[in-house]
Structure 1
Amino acid sequence: MKVLITGAKGQLGRGLIASAPSGTTLVPVDIDECDLTDADAIRSLVQAEAPDLVINAAAYTAVDKAEDDEETARAINSGAVAALAGAHTGKMVHVSTDFVFDGTSPRAYVPKDVRNPVSVYGRTKAEGEDHLRSGDILVRTAWVYTAGGANFVRTMLRLMAEKPALNVVTDQIGSPTWAPVLAETIWGLVAKDASGTFHHSDAGVASWYDFAVAIQEEALALGLLQDAIPITPVPTSAYPTPASRPAFSLLDCSKTRDLLDDGYTHWRTNLRKMLKEEASLG
């Protein structure tokens, strides 16, 4: 099977490459190989490579910047999906986000829930979802991180080493996602010849404050940090940002887990694994 992976240098892209099934021929593509704002370039790439499967792991993820750069965000998050779907006759996997929801649900979001994004990023990602065909796979995820990537965990490690104290938002609720397991889930859905919408994040519930506290505790235990600093929970209103965030974006992943029959792993378990990898990177 020949698989074209966009966003190949990103956190998920690297995970997909590392966990690709034996016998898979990979065509990893990033900005150096194809400008995803250029629909003609995308179509030419797909036609030249003629892959059996396309996994679109690329996205414009600068949530706040997107508020002033809507054209680029839409070109990558929606236009590129349309171009890929239009040029590729086989199955496509597209990765989307919890930001397509408005955060007002009283329970975890299931795949069929009505979308109502509250930011340019969320709206453009929702638009991208609409370009998928009936046989394609849509995977929504949230709070993605991995060792060596640009993410909340590594930002917290740096700030905890530099600052005497931190304030972290406590009224945005969801669950982190370790990229290697997200990648394995995507390959699992492909192996099952699945189609439709699925959710994936690690098990459990957290605020960004909860996540930060856990990062410090686990990092101290592994020697990644030398000293603990005070971490204070604060409301979102204390840190106004250009883009609105959903206050509650927990994803119900039961449909995915039931299909793959692979059980649930709590986010703190995967955080510990990631930090051990981070420690090995030096």
Structure 2
Amino acid sequence: MRILVTGKEGQVDTSLQVLGQKLGLEIIRIGLPEIDLSQPESLEPPVREARPDVIISSAAYTAVDKAETETELAQKINGDAPGVLARLAAELDIPILHLSTDYVFAGDKADAYTEADMPAPVSVYGKTKLSGETQIRAATDNHVILRTAWVYSPYGNNFVKTMLRLGETRDEVSVVADQHGCPTYALEIARALLAIAQQVVIDRDPTIRGTFHLTGQGETTWAEFATAIFKGAEKRGRKPVRVNPITTADYPTPAKRPANSRLNGDKLDDTFGLRLDPWPTSLDDCLDRLIGPKEEDPS
């Protein structure tokens, strides 16, 4: 099976390459200089040339704060480029899988968001990602949109790697404690994407199309997540680092973040039989890859 993936240096596209090779799947990643998502029309030649069985749209503009001033650029990459990919998928009569985000929601719900909840993004980033979803739905029914959140991995830039870097030079780090979400491991996202891709290529059933939520099991706050990272690093020989919990108001940013980013993954489990590992389990794997295995207890 030939799987076309947008992106060459991101967390998810790198994870897809790593897992795809192990599974014997042909992963064709396209990125700069072959394509430039700020010029969505650049997608057409390489997509047609690749002749894929399925498209995975994983590349995105993820600079959440910069998007507040780079609105047009974010819209082209997050909104218009997925629309072009979906139209190409429709012409080629193949499915498209697209990664979206918790930022399509306002974050003011008391419980975890389900796919039935109405999107209401409060940032430019969230609005452009919602635009991508809308354009895909308008272009083809043969789509699977997967919303995820708080992505981390051994690859690219992410919260786990940032905390580890800060911990090398600091004894204490201040981290927001009033934003709640579900940390999600990019290698687990890739595992789910490849499983879904293989199923939708051979099965035209419309009930396995649509929008789904894809996150690690369990919920936490950024401060609690940071604490787990530092404790895991300490078990692997790093020095201890304290986490100072602060509020969102203590750390103002240009873009507003959802206070509640929790996504309910029951629909994904019911439809595909997929449920990602609990985030502490995945964090252990990530730290093993970044630092090494835990040191043995001398006792």
3-state SS of 1:201 partner: coil
1:189-240: CA deviation from partner (whole Å, max 9, x where unpaired): 22332311111111111100000000010110012x1x21321111000011
Q: How does 1:56-71 map to 2 (within 5 A)?
A: 56-71=57-72
Could you say which residue in structure 1 is the equivalent of 2:109?
105
2:9–2:156 CA contact under 8 A, matched in 1: no
2:278 to 259, 263, 266: 266
Q: How does 1:54-93 map to 2 (within 5 A)?
A: 54-89=55-90, 90-93=94-97
Paired AA for residue 182 in structure 2: S
Residue 261 of structure 1: how far off its partner (Å): 2.6
Residue 250 of structure 1: how far off its partner (Å): 0.2
1:206 aligns with 2:214: no
- Aligned residues: CA RMSD: 1.5
Could you say which residue in structure 1 is the equivalent of 2:12?
12
3-state SS of 1:19 partner: helix
Q: Mind listing any 5+ residue stretches in structure 1 that lack a counterpart?
A: none
Q: How does 1:1-282 map to 2 (within 5 A)?
A: 1-20=1-20, 22-89=23-90, 90-132=94-136, 133-193=140-200, 194-223=208-237, 225=238, 227-280=239-292
Paired AA for residue 65 in structure 2: D
Q: Mind listing any 5+ residue stretches in structure 2 that lack a counterpart?
A: 201-207, 294-299
- TM-score, reference length from structure 1: 0.95
3-state SS of 1:3 partner: strand
1:123-181: CA deviation from partner (whole Å, max 9, x where unpaired): 00000001122220101000111114211001001111111311110001001001001
Report the number of matched residues. Answer: 279
3-state SS of 2:280 partner: helix
CA 23–157 in structure 1, closer or farther in 2 if over 3 Å, else same: closer
Moved over 6 A (4+): none
Q: Percent identity?
A: 38
